[in-house]
Structures are given as C-alpha cells and as structure tokens.
C-alpha cells in the first residue's frame, strides 16, 4: 500500500507550487461534483464529546471507496495541539484492498480552501478583488491563497480577537503580494469587502456576522459553522440570501441552516457546478456558501494524491495487509512451528 506522509505532501506542494496545487485540487473537486450521481453518499458519522468531535467521512464510486478520519477540538491549541487532524484511505471496490493511506491534515486545509474558492467562482460578483477574513486560525492563509489562485483576490481585510493569530497571519503572508488591512473589529473587516470568509473555531452558536454588516452583492463563504451547535451567521442574513450547500442531509445538521426551518430553501452546489442550477443571478444578490466539508472533497484530494505521488521520494510503502501464499491459511503466516524455535 502506498503511504503518503506529511513530509511527502510538503514536498509535493513545494515541487508543484502552492497555487498550482490549489488550482489542480479545485479541478479534481469540480470533476467529481459533476458526476454526483455516480457516488454512494451519506452524511458523516460523528462522535461528539464535551471537548470536540471525531468523525468518519465515507464515500464511494464504482471504482474506489474512500474515507477520512478527522477530529475537531478547538481547545487543543491551548495545549499546543492542532484543532483539526486527519488521515484518509482509498480502497479498490473490486477487491476491497486499500491501496493508499495519506495524511489529511494539510490536505484538508488545502481542499477546504480550494472548495471555497471553487464555489465563489460561481457565487461571487465577477471582478471581486477584496476579501474579508474573520478568524485567523490554521485555515486562514490557505483561504487567502486559494482565492488569489482561482479568483485573483489580492486585497485582504482581516480580523481576529487574538493579536497573536493576527501576527501569525501577517508573518506567513508577508511578501506574498497581498495588500492587507488589519481591521479593528468584524464590522470594520466586512466594510467594502466583495467576499467575506468566516472561519472561526469555537464550538458555539456565535454571531460573527450580523445582518447590518452585509451589503448588497456580497458573497459569504461561511466555513466555521461545521457541526451541531456551531454557527457564525445571524439568521436574518440567511433569510435574505441565496444559500448553497454541499450535501443537504449533512448541512441541515451541521451548517448555518441548522438555525432555519427544515423547509428553508437551499441549492446543492453540485447542481451549479454541473450546470443544472443557477449560482449568482444579479449584482445585488447576497449569496452564501454554507460549507461544512463533504466526503467527495476528501475523495478528490485522495485521488489527486494517488495521481501525483508516484515518484519514489513522494511516498513510501506500508505493509498493512497480510499476504499468505494460500489465502485460506492466514494462521500459517504466523509460522509457529518448532522448526523456527517458536512455540504456541
């Protein structure tokens, strides 16, 4: 089985270039969303605890089964740990044998950012150049880079309640060609922005954006509300917006629309990408991508890694599958015979 570790993903990004990887990931995601009907889909399994959530995200087409293990523990950062970590697996549907296991912490950040920018290409006003980012945790820089790579965003208005997060963001993106305005508040960040990305981490029903902060024509990329009891937008914003989601049964439980009636109208983003529904229809329309992350995006990321890590220095082999010469004689693999000096 091919094992793609953290060092291999870092080497891949450096070799191909961050913007290239983000564009290529967006292409893989779009390709898979266009064949939506080919996938066996389900909402993710989630095990919630007082400190966070551990999830499994399964998906399959006729050729491969994939899943991602991922956690979300906002309090981890106080202990010097990542809020989100993950790994993923691809397996051959015909034999059931897994053929790829890969790190999915960096890759989740990359695919989430690529998905955000891909959706914004259909939902934001043409010519958008300014984006507000509210919440400057681990995902923020990836979002900025993806929106520049796919949409040409080069002006950022940023805000976080933690000065250290702001300093981290500015240091990471120094000399990378962005004009950055450090806002004094959320409303200050949102003022004049074509796109507003909310990507906060706290597991609570927050009001990161209130209705009076949202002008006509704005696109909201709502990334941080991604589990039950965790939201970022005042419901009044959703009431006057066109809302787009990934997989409705999952988003009803976890997204911003968990605040809304069950018959609240939304459009699944695959329909827009496949040309079966409209995205933005007018300059004054307020659009929301209520993104919680869906398994197709992880499948796309794993498929991308499978295609791009063939070089010997971009993976190693992992021996996780027993291979008895006689498939019926698994016990014989242990070889407990006295001839080997081993006794049962």
Cβ contacts of 208 within 8 Å, gap of 6 or more: 134, 135, 186, 198, 200, 224, 232, 233
Token pair for 251? 């988003």
Q: Return the pLDDT at 337.
A: 62
Measured CA angle at 250 (ends 247, 252), to 5 deg: 100
The C-alpha atoms of residue 118 and residue 287 are separated, in whole angstroms, by: 14
Token pair for 119? 């959706």
Q: Return the pLDDT at 78.
A: 87
Question: Is residue 142 within 8 Å of residue 112, measured between CB atoms?
Answer: yes
* Residues 245/218/113/224 CA torsion (nearest 10 deg): -70
Catalytic residue, chosen from 226, 239, 319, 326, is 226
Q: Active site includes 226?
A: yes
* Tens-binned pLDDT, residue by residue, of the chain (344 aa): 999 999 999 999 999 999 999 999 999 999 999 999 999 999 999 998 988 899 999 999 999 999 999 998 988 988 999 989 999 999 999 999 999 999 999 999 999 999 999 999 999 999 999 999 999 999 999 999 999 999 999 999 999 999 999 999 999 999 999 999 999 999 999 999 999 999 987 777 788 999 999 999 999 999 986 778 889 999 999 999 999 999 999 999 999 999 999 999 999 999 999 999 999 999 999 999 999 999 999 999 999 999 999 999 999 999 999 989 899 999 999 987 665 444 44
User: Left, alpha or beta for 275 (phi > 0: left; psi -120 to 50: alpha)?
Assistant: left
* Phi and psi at residue 309, to the nearest 5°: -115, 30
In the three-class reduction of DSSP (H, G, I as helix; E, B as strand; rest coil), residue 96 is classed as: coil
Paired with 317 in beta bridges are 2
Tell me how crowded residue 305 is: count the other CB atoms within 10 A of its CB: 25
In the three-class reduction of DSSP (H, G, I as helix; E, B as strand; rest coil), residue 60 is classed as: strand
Q: Is the pTM of this model over 0.75?
A: yes
Question: Is residue 28 within 8 Å of residue 305, measured between CB atoms?
Answer: no
Question: Is residue 193 within 8 Å of residue 130, measured between CB atoms?
Answer: yes
């Amino acid at each position: 089985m091919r094992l793609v570790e953290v060092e291999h993903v870092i080497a891949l990004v450096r070799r191909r270039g961050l913007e290239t990887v983000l564009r290529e990931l967006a292409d893989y995601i779009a390709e898979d969303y266009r064949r939506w009907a080919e996938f066996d889909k389900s909402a993710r399994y989630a095990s919630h605890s007082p400190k966070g959530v551990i999830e499994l995200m399964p998906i399959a087409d006729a050729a491969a089964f994939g899943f991602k293990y991922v956690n979300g523990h906002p309090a981890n950062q106080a202990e010097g740990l990542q809020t989100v970590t993950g790994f993923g697996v691809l397996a051959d549907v015909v034999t059931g044998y897994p053929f790829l296991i890969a790190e999915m912490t960096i890759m989740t950040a990359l695919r989430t950012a690529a998905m955000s920018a891909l959706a914004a290409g259909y939902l934001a006003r043409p010519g958008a150049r300014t984006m507000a980012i509210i919440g400057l945790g681990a995902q923020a820089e990836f979002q900025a880079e993806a929106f520049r790579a796919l949409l040409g965003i080069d002006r950022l208005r940023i805000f976080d309640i933690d000065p250290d997060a702001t300093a981290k963001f500015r240091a990471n993106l120094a000399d990378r060609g962005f004009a950055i305005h450090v806002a004094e508040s959320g409303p200050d960040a949102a003022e004049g922005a074509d796109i507003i990305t909310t990507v906060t981490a706290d597991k609570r029903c927050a009001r990161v954006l209130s209705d009076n902060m949202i002008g006509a024509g704005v696109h909201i990329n709502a990334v941080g509300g991604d589990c039950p009891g965790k939201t970022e937008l005042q419901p009044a914003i959703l009431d006057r917006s066109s809302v787009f989601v990934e997989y409705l049964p999952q988003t009803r439980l976890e997204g911003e629309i968990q605040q809304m009636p069950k018959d609240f109208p939304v459009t699944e983003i695959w329909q827009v990408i496949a040309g079966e529904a409209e995205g933005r229809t007018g300059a004054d329309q307020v659009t929301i991508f209520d993104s919680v992350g869906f398994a197709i995006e992880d499948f796309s990321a794993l498929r991308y890694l499978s295609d791009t890590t063939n070089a010997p220095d971009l993976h190693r082999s992992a021996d996780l599958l027993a291979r008895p010469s006689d498939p019926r004689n698994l016990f014989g693999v242990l070889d407990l015979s006295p001839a080997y000096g081993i006794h049962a």
